[in-house]
A and B are shown apart, each in its own frame.
Chain A
């Protein structure tokens, strides 16, 4: 069963991680988005944890726009990973593509461009920090 999560400190692992990503992303004010990576903007992305938590959002240049799960059409890309992998991704140690290359997350042909671009933007944001002692 899927559990729709809110992206805030009271949410689950995904909700907390993406809330932190959203804060750090906003601090970058779009500086990390080159033209070569902007294909990731304006696309709906669904993050899922194998424990059932689900968070939908749209990545915009200067903010993340969280969406109520099931409120819109099929997302442009879905990322489904185990909680331990999400934890390493939100810690910046790994990116989503590393989990995919380890064979622990799907990599559908029609989602590859978005997954690769978002993967880099997510890790760079988490490692660039700027959020104080978060």
Chain B
């Protein structure tokens, strides 16, 4: 376990150990990851982990569909045509098909354009791993089991690399580690050899992709998983065609991890690989926003539902308490001049900045009684109701919630509303809905995302098909249902 206090009773470690454990010196991390990625058999994965991965796929595709309704999604689909046309892989939420790398980028972009993606341990995975596995799976005519196994591979590797660099300059859940798992996911589905897969990681990671912090206030942010997804596939293809790369790009002192992080805890990289399933730590989101905001948003939705005749214009005080990290994320873009709302109005930045703003998610939830893609459209962002609530909101750190987050990944929040007539209401959540210890039905999310894009009957068919993905001999049979 890492220096970050591990949750007691780490859910990753529960259940029976599979037969194929990987061990070895940390110096051979790239090789060990390549072997794990290529040799892991579906039958070696515990049933509950398979179930989590299937649900992860369902939830991620729901995010894709919802994200495809944002204005930036059309730009991504149109802009990617410069990379060529082809019919290999499905776009989730846009018509037509594209070459696998382009489809992976599109699907990854829309999976996170309203920040509705999941994470394992402390690193977002689904928006990188699922689009990569589906795009290459379709290209290769892989079975549903192959795709599920590839998703698990991606989660397991991503979780470990994130723990290895968590003490670097990354205080949240965005990690520059996707250039490792995406080429390995692609390598598995393309049938590469171990050495080829190692080389794929080298090609993928050579130009280390760190995001520039200011990009997190514009649609550029959708590339943080999208580029590694696309490039991971290209890198695997290059390696498969014989392009020689380094064999130790992950662990080398001058390799990828040491390039992107000031601190690399090498012992984390192979910890429990193949025996402790980090996929069990998967957290999904019931609503689109940065994870740190979700409990507060749920509080706001509950308050909206229980306050009689609620009128956002009659709120006189809105107080939010939570862990320091929530407040850190929430105020990240609050010093802009002109302010974030004015810059969105001017199209200098986009709604993406507000995906990390706890205050906005809370306010939009209070105004509409829901938080989905519509709340990230300009009409709501620039509305008078939001403008009024902005003048009422205050934040306060809760030291106990702060400690609980770092001790056990508890994402707590408390929201207190005072109405103009003096009535006061409070809601509190100790953990976000969608956390490993507080799940919800991902079919709800899929339906919300796919609504308006797929016929209601086809949505239900798709949900069943995705929940039975391991019975599918060719993933293209399922993606045919998913195409709009």
Chain A interface residues toward B at CB < 8 A: 28, 31-32, 34-37, 39, 85, 88, 92-95, 97-104, 107, 112-113, 116-117, 119-121, 123-130
Contact = CB atoms under 8 A, between A and B. Distances in A.
Contact of A102 (B3, B169, B337): B337
B402 A104 contact: no
Interface in B150-188: 166-171
A94 B397 contact: no
Contact of A93 (B170, B334, B337): B334
A92 B133 CA distance: 43
B335 A124 contact: no
B335 A35 contact: no
B395 to A, nearest CB: 6
A107 B210 CA distance: 15
B324 interface: yes
10 contacts: A32-B399, A32-B402, A95-B327, A101-B214, A101-B333, A107-B213, A126-B397, A127-B396, A127-B397, A128-B399
B331 A94 contact: yes
- The 8 A-B pairs of least Cβ separation, nearest first, read A124-B324, A34-B406, A127-B397, A113-B169, A35-B3, A102-B335, A128-B397, A98-B335
A103 to B, nearest CB: 8
B332 interface: yes
Contacts of B337: 102
Contact of B335 (A99, A113, A125, A130): A99
Nearest to A97: B332
A126 B328 CA distance: 12
A123 B403 contact: no
A72 to B, nearest CB: 21
B335 A85 contact: yes
A99 to B, nearest CB: 5
B395 A36 contact: no
B396 A129 contact: yes
A36 B213 contact: no
Contacts of A28: 399
B4 interface: yes
Main secondary structure of the interface of B (DSSP, over half): loop
B336 interface: yes
Main secondary structure of the interface of A (DSSP, over half): helix
Contacts of A95: 327-328, 331-332
A95 B80 CA distance: 37
B335 A101 contact: yes
B325 interface: yes
Nearest to A28: B399
Contacts of B324: 32, 120-121, 123-124, 127-128
A98 B397 contact: no
Nearest to A37: B171
B398 interface: yes
Given A34-B406, A36-B406, A123 B331 contact: yes
Given A101-B217, A120-B171, 15 more contacts: A34-B5, A34-B403, A35-B5, A35-B406, A36-B167, A37-B406, A39-B262, A39-B263, A93-B334, A94-B335, A98-B332, A99-B335, A101-B333, A101-B336, A123-B327
Contacts of B214: 101, 103
A9 B250 CA distance: 51
Interface in B188-218: 213-214, 217
A113 B261 CA distance: 9
A124 B169 CA distance: 18
B418 interface: no
A38 to B, nearest CB: 8
B427 to A, nearest CB: 20
